[in-house]
Amino acid sequence: MAENAEGDLNSNLLHTAYHTGDPQLDSAIGQWLRWDKNPKTKEQIENLLRNGMNKELRDRLCCRMTFGTAGLRYTMGAGFCYINDLTVIQSTQGMYKYLERCFSDFKQRGFVVGYDTRGQVTSSCSSQRLAKLTAAVLLAKDVPVYLFSRYVPTPFVPYAVQELHAVAGVMITASHNHKEDNGYKVYWENGAQITSHDKEILKCIEECVEPWNGSWNDNLVDTSPLKRDPLQDICRRYMEDLKKICIHKELNSKTTLKFVHTSFHGVGHDYVQLAFQAFGFKPPIPVPEQKDPDPDFSTVRCPNPEEGESVLELSLRLAEKENARIVAAVVVAEMASYLETMNVTLKQQLIKVYEKYGYHISKTSYFLCYDPPTIKSIFERLRNFDSPKEYPKFCGTFAILHVRDITTGYDSSQPNKKSVLPVSKNSQMITFTFQNGCVATLRTSGTEPKIKYYAEMCASPEQSDIALLEEELKKLIEVLIENFLEPSKNGLIWRVV
């Protein structure tokens, strides 16, 4: 009886006109409950509606994700601004519409789809499921789809797009983001991440929000003759091509150096083992706790190498135990092996490079900011610093030589004051070149609520006092943060180290 009552309530919710006092929200609720066929995410919205959580419903349903760094990346869950079954179907429908317009041979060349092992049980959302739905949308429209039968590293997708002459590809991944996130990373026919196509794709998505017939039919990935599995072929070709950049295979096979590798609970372990084999190395020693895919990333707070030693703690501990000098990828391993034959370490070689070309010191970090208007006002203030349309000439006592603003297309170092680099109006990015040779960039993340800073000092070869250079860079970063970001005033959250 109780089960029937619950079923009747859900049925009533589906067919009721909603009266929240907000016509836009009422319309969005109706659309979600009609279009979403995932029981878990549908239930999340029904529960919010039942409990009168109008603000959260508005946050989830009355805005859409925008294309960031080459696609979509956001939290998994219910709502039009989250990553879930419905928003991935909508995105793929928009991709189909745009690609059909761009390529007359779309249905001959096809599309590549790969995925990692991310997932969220509460939303019944996983990278594999999202990949299948991406494929289903295209298969239902008679597009050949190269869908990997197993999780793959991200580079396999752009590589496959080029090797198989597909028009484009999508990798379902959030790379190094927190475990709650997932993403839809888009690659063009040349294997590059999309940059200039994002606005038009977004327009096409907004024109195709209602799921088409067949878009939810993920059985097509098992039954359609247009679905192909490129896994074995692409893995073989990739490793063969990798051998072409190997220079010292014989030396590699004889090296006494040991290498440690961690996959941070991602999908890299098997493929890195194959890559080391292709270079002639013995297998690298894997960090056992982080070797296998784990959507909870259970040994790290965030699987991002930007976090430094806190993420690499297990790798460094294992390297010490195994007397391995390097925690690295295969090309670095080959460099280390070659230098070992001359009794030179990587660090010693780097110092030689510095002595010849000058010391290069860089520091990067970030602040968290969950309020987009605050982020915008920080950057707008820099564009109108002492007066309207005037960038700062000093940061504390440090004189600014040039300013480049990728968001607006301005570059004071160019004769016509126009940036040579492509303009990206959807993100914030300003670079300051200082009189003392330091270059500092402030930019927003395309995928996370972060304001990042990158500061580097490129000294001339005769400036060899590294302590002095580091102190100069440290002082500049301090005034950059205080004068340009104003963390206390703007409520910015410092990175936890």
Structure tokens at 204: 């096409």
Q: Work out the number of other CB atoms within 10 angstroms of the CB of residue 3.
A: 7
CA 11 to chain centre: 39
Provide the phi-psi class of 52: left if phi over 0, else alpha when psi is between -120 and 50, else beta.
Answer: left
Dihedral pair phi/psi, residue 344, rounded to 5°:
-120, 135
What whole-number distance in Å separates Cα of residue 397 and Cα of residue 434?
A: 11
Give the position of tokens 């594999």.
128
Residue 226 tokens, joined: 């247009």
Nearest to 319 by CA among 287, 279, 366, 294: 287
Q: Which of 175, 365, 412, 427 is catalytic?
A: 175
Q: Which of 302, 264, 257, 306 is nearest to 282 (CA)?
A: 257
* CA–CA gap between residue 135 and residue 114 (Å, rounded): 10
What span, in angstroms and rounded, lies between the C-alpha atoms of 89 and 95?
10
- As to burial, measured by CB atoms within 10 angstroms (0-12 exposed, 13-18 middle, 19+ buried), residue 342 is exposed
CB 53 within 8 A of CB 93: no
Question: In whole angstroms, what is the distance from residue 187 CA to residue 170 CA?
Answer: 6
Distance CA 47, CA 35 (A): 17
**Cβ density class 111-149: b for 16+ within 10 Å, e for less:** bbbbbbbbbbeebbbbbbbbbbbbbbbbbbbebbbbbbe
Element (H, E) at 99: helix 85-102
Active site residue 464: no
Centre a 10 Å sphere on the Cβ of residue 17 and count the other Cβ atoms it contains. 7
The set of residues, in sequence order, having a beta carbon less than 8 Å from that of 426 and lying 6+ positions away, is: 66, 67, 68, 198, 199, 446
Q: Is 430 helix (H, G, I), strand (E, B) or coil?
A: strand
The catalytic residue positions are: 175
